[in-house]
């Protein structure tokens, strides 16, 4: 269900926003809706983990001092460094 919302904004902001929306072939209303959706959606901490992802958690056991950046760098060097 769509509901009307009235906002009071500076004229210059509205003008620039309309230009921005036009370049992206969308409406100003849709831009505002997308923005509000993005800032009001659940944070990463609130996202529910699916059962399949939960079942994969903890499968790999790594030492506490494992340096993933070093290992990934070595992998990339091996793959592309030749």
Tens-place pLDDT, residues 24-51: 999 999 999 999 988 887 766 667 778 8
Domain carrying residue 33 = 8-42
- Tell me, what's the pLDDT at 82? 64
Strands, E assignment, 1-82? none
Residues 6+ apart with CB under 8 A from 24: 31
CB 14 within 8 A of CB 6: no
Report, as an integer, the average pLDDT of 57-74.
90
Residue 29 belongs to some domain of the structure:
yes
Residue 16 belongs to some domain of the structure:
yes
Residue 34 belongs to some domain of the structure:
yes
- Tell me, what's the pLDDT at 39? 83
Residue 17 belongs to some domain of the structure:
yes
Helices (H) and strands (E) in the chain, counts: 4, 0
Residue 23 belongs to some domain of the structure:
yes
pLDDT class for 8, splitting at 50, 70, 90?
Answer: very high
Q: How many domains does the chain have?
A: 1
pTM of the model: 0.50
């Amino acid at each position: 269900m769509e509901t009307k919302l009235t906002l009071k904004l500076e004229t210059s902001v509205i003008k620039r926003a309309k230009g921005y929306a036009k370049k992206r072939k969308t409406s100003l209303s849709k831009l505002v809706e997308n923005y509000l959706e993005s800032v009001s959606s659940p944070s990463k901490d609130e996202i529910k983990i699916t059962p399949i992802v939960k079942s994969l958690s903890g499968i790999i056991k790594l030492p506490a001092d494992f340096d993933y950046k070093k290992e990934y760098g070595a992998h990339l060097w091996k793959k592309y460094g030749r």
